[in-house]
Amino acid sequence: ERPDALRRDLVGRKILVSAGGTREPLDPVRFLGNRSSGKQGYAIARLAAQRGAEVTLIAGYTADLADPAALEVIRIRTAGELKEAVDKAAVAAEAVVMAAAVADFRPSTIADSKIKKGADEPDTIPLTRNEDILAGLVRSRRDGDLPNTSVIVGFAAETGDAHGDVLTHARSKLARKGCDLLVVNAVGEGKAFEVDHNDGWLLGADGSETALEYGSKALMASRVLDALVSLLERGGA
């Protein structure tokens, strides 16, 4: 179902979408990775192009997704490469959608040769925090370095825990990141990762909270783009 596929409300708009997961190498054959399929980000990139946008897709590792037709695709492997590519492409973008699943940490050192069992085997893997790309974009814009970028969209996959429910965590993430829109997927058993359906919320920096009812990733994409378009038309949040 692609209810808004024919709406041409993004003609001439430059949109940057990141999608898929990053992999952080540990040695020549191993990495730290995540289960992102890239499907949600690809759906947004594809639909934005159908709605007329000039889309740049920065893609990490995905579940074997075909490159969407008629848009520029830049491949990245690590969070560091993703940051470099996003920072470069964001300069021209009017809206940035950070759907990529960015590794929060990388192994502090990458072994030159394969790590072997035996006397020298490690019992822990020291990790170093990766830079927060989304927060960096928000900072750059605040500092006046992204004059073209009026909309910055973040994603969050959240579960409830002892400190609060999904919405509570999502509201504080939106405040912490400072983006204009946060797309929140409620994750739990069988939800969000590697499946074709999501549910969650769209939280706006203006305090708006819209439920995203259970639907396909194409439908989710159209909801996200509807919200993005209305922010773009208002000239940003």
Contact set with ligand CTP (CB under 6 A) = 79, 98, 100, 102, 104, 130, 132-134, 154-156
- In sequence order, which residues have a C-beta less than 8 Å from that of residue 221 and are 6 or more positions away? 40, 43, 44, 46, 47
Q: Which of 236, 160, 167, 164 lies closest to 205 in space, CA to CA?
A: 236
Q: Which two tokens stand for residue 213?
A: 């009812």
The residue among 10 and 98 lying less far from ligand CTP, judged by its C-beta, is 98
User: Is 9 or 21 the residue whose CB approaches ligand CTP more closely?
Assistant: 21
Choose one: 18-26, 103-111, 120-128, 130-138; the region binding Ca ion (CB under 5 A). 103-111
Nearer to ligand CTP, 154 or 200 (CB): 154
- Pick between residue 10 and residue 85 the one whose CB is nearest to ligand CTP: 85
Q: Which does 212 bind (CB under 5 to 8 A by kind): Ca ion, ligand CTP, none?
A: none
User: Which one, of 38, 36, 55, lies nearest residue 46 by Cα?
Assistant: 55
Q: Which of 34, 130, 185, 198 is catalytic?
A: 34
Q: Which of 104, 132, 209, 226 binds Ca ion (CB under 5 A)?
A: 104
Number of C-beta neighbours around residue 57 at 10 A = 28
Is residue 132 near Ca ion by the rule CB under 5 A?
A: no
Residues 48-77 that bind Ca ion (CB under 5 A): none
- Comparing CB distances to ligand CTP, the nearer of 8 and 88 is 88
The SS3 of residue 5 is coil
In 3D space, the residue among 194, 199, 193 whose CA is nearest the CA of residue 220 turns out to be 199
DSSP assignment of 149-189 equals: --EEEEEEEE--BTTB-HHHHHHHHHHHH--SEEEEEE-ST
User: Least distance (Å) from Ca ion to the CB of residue 172?
Assistant: 14
Tell me if residue 34 is catalytic. Answer: yes
Cα(215)–Cα(151) distance, integer angstroms: 24
Judged by CB under 5 A, the number of residues near Ca ion is: 1
- Give which of ligand CTP, Ca ion, none residue 134 binds (C-beta under 5 to 8 Å, depending on kind): ligand CTP
User: Which DSSP string do the residues of 15-54 spell out, in sequence order?
Assistant: EEEEESB--EEEETTEEE------HHHHHHHHHHHHTT-E
State the nearest-atom distance from the C-beta of 122 to Ca ion, in Å. Answer: 24
Write out the residues near Ca ion by the rule CB under 5 A: 104
User: What residues are labeled active site?
Assistant: 34
